[in-house]
Structure 1
Amino acid sequence: MAGGRWFSRWPVLRQLKGEDGRSDAARSARTDALRPRTEEADSVARSVCPYCAVGCGQLVYVKDGRVSQIEGDPDSPISRGRLCPKGSASKQLVTHPGRQTHVLYRRPYGTEWERLDLGAAMEMIAERVLRTRKDTWQQTHEGKVVRRTLGIAGLGGATLDNEENYLMKKLYTALGAIQVENQARI
């Protein structure tokens, strides 16, 4: 075909112009009845995605006191309404039915998980951290003052927000740990 006339025959262009006889083939009564989850929200709160240091803006939609949807905030100068796959799935942080809400513990060589009281679990962790620090503390190494422990290390995950990672870094440093890394930074 001469010039750019072949261009107008592309199927996608014909569909967009409404010239394709199949334009309603993908429609159904169910499709037409669907409504956005955001349409019936009682309120909308602006927030920031908790996953990494980028700080993408989010709109959190709430219905009946529960999060009903989370979407990118188009007014955010950082992300302009876009979210990565983790940010898009952040609603699951609070609504997923498989989300653990109790402390579970499996004893050494055990095969079953058991529920623990939060206070008992915190005491157990504190005791183990302090014992490990005491048992592995190095005041000096090769004649130099190092004041460190190699028995404690920290690895933060992508579900931790910047503030949580900051506090974890401060805690590990105060304990003398020098092996501190964070997946969200990578």
Structure 2
Amino acid sequence: MAVRQWIEGWPVYRQLTGQDPLGRGAAVTSEHTRHLRARTEQADKVVRSICPYCAVGCGQKVYVKDGRVTQIEGDPDSPISRGRLCPKGSASKQLVTSPSRVTTVLYRRPHGTDWERIPLDRAMEMVADRVLATRRETWQDEEDGKVTRRTMGIASLGGATLDNEENYLMKKLYTAMGAVQIENQARI
């Protein structure tokens, strides 16, 4: 490459001699940067979501290509965060796509001494079966001649990281199951 070609290819030279004296457009654009494309351009679909980290509930746009998450950004249409995410929220993609993400559940059988890995689907089925069995075994239709229709065998203690919507849905779920001990850590 000749010296003259090198100088003319230099962004400062193009800025000072061209139509872009502030260096905000063509003067600072190289051949390489002209061919760059945003990762979000190639997404098959964009799914709106909520950041899972805290109770603020910042909106996220999740970009998906070929069934895999390619990028997660703040949702500018979110009235809560207006497109902004904290450092943890900005790193949400790692939560979803990390190769070290835990996808199994550790389970120790009753009276067992060792943990075994079981699939998440199986663990969810076990929890559902136990909830239904507990409800069935502890159900009270009436007590002292009064209609109660409740179970005293199930209780809920929500965490402070849950947002209002999640707590509302948990309250509805547990009330529908007949539980009466429904509390939240944030209120205690």
Normalising TM by the smaller chain, what interval?
0.5 to 0.7
User: Any conservation in 2 of the 1:103–1:118 contact (CA below 8 Å)?
Assistant: yes
Could you tell me which residue of structure 2 aligns to residue 132 of structure 1? 134
Contact 2:39–2:71 at 8 Å: present in 1 too? Answer: no
Preserved CA contact (<8 Å) 2:107 2:118: yes
Q: Call closer, same or farther: CA 1:67–1:158 in 2, change over 3 Å.
A: farther
Cα distance in 2 for residues equivalent to 1:156 and 1:182:
4
1:40 aligns with 2:34: no
Shift of 1:176: 0.8
> Radius of gyration: which is bigger?
2
Distance 1:92 1:108, change over 3 A: farther
Structure 1's consecutive aligned runs of 4 or more residues displaced over 6 angstroms after TM superposition are 158-164, 183-186
Distance (Å, rounded) in 2 between the aligned partners of 1:109 and 1:56: 43
Alignment length, in residue pairs? 149
**Aligned partner letter, 2:49:** V
How far the C-alpha of 1:161 sits from its partner, in A, is: 8.0
Q: Give distance in 1, aligned partners of 2:80 and 2:159.
A: 22
Query: 2:118 aligned to 110, 116, 119, which one?
Result: 116
2:101 counterpart of 1:95: no
- Residue in structure 1 matched with residue 152 of structure 2 by the alignment: 150
Which shows bigger deviation, 65-74 or 47-56? 47-56
Return 5+ residue gaps in structure 2 as ranges. 1-36
Distance change >3 Å, CA 143–CA 131, structure 1 → 2 = same
* Match of residue 50 from structure 2: 49
Are the aligned partners of 1:40 and 1:63 in contact in 2 as well (CA < 8 Å)? no
CA distance 1:158–1:113, change in 2 (3 Å): farther
Specify the alignment match of 2:109 in structure 1: 107
Q: Is the 8 A contact 1:155 1:183 kept in 2?
A: yes
Q: Structure 1 stretch 155-164 or stretch 95-104: which is displaced more? A: 155-164
Contact 2:55 2:160 in 1 (8 A): no
Q: Could you list the per-position Cα deviations for residues 55-75 of structure 1 after superposition, in whole angstroms to 9, with x for gaps in the alignment?
A: 533233446653233221334
Identity over aligned pairs, percent: 72
Query: Residue deviations 1:104-139, cap 9 Å, x none?
Result: 321124332223366754553344223322332333
CA distance in 2, matches of 1:148, 1:71: 44
Secondary structure, in 3 states, of the residue corresponding to 1:91? helix
The alignment yields a C-alpha RMSD, in angstroms, of 4.0
Q: Are 2:149 and 2:178, in contact at CA under 8 Å, matched by a contact in 1?
A: yes
Which secondary structure does the structure 2 equivalent of 1:82 belong to?
coil
